[in-house]
A = this chain, B = another copy of it.
Amino acid sequence: MPGGPRLPEDVLARELATLPEWTRDADAIQRTWRFADFKTAMIFANGVAALAEKANHHPNITVHDYNQVTLRLWSHDAGGLSARDVDLARTINATL
């Protein structure tokens, strides 16, 4: 499993408590941002893409409703949420 295993539920709950901006949805976590306009939303999406490439971990990125971006993170390999998701969410929070 290249990205590490699925996190045990208690560990995951502890990690997610430190990421209150992210919402759990089944086996994924999501966060939505709203920007001034479409261009700014695209700039943000590209920033996320650069961090995703660096981490070699690729979220779903949706630019929607003109000025919003929703990210959805999960680990396909692990069949759920792994440390890579938590790490990338933290990096995005800290960097963008």
Contacts and interface: CB of A to CB of B under 8 A. Distances in A.
A38 B64 contact: no
Contact of A61 (B52, B58, B63): B63
A29 to B, nearest CB: 15
Chain copies in complex: 2
Contacts of A39: 49, 53
Contacts of A62: 60-64
A46 to B, nearest CB: 7
Interface string A48-62: 010011000010111
A37 B44 CA distance: 20
Interface of A: 38-39, 42, 45-46, 49, 52-53, 58, 60-66
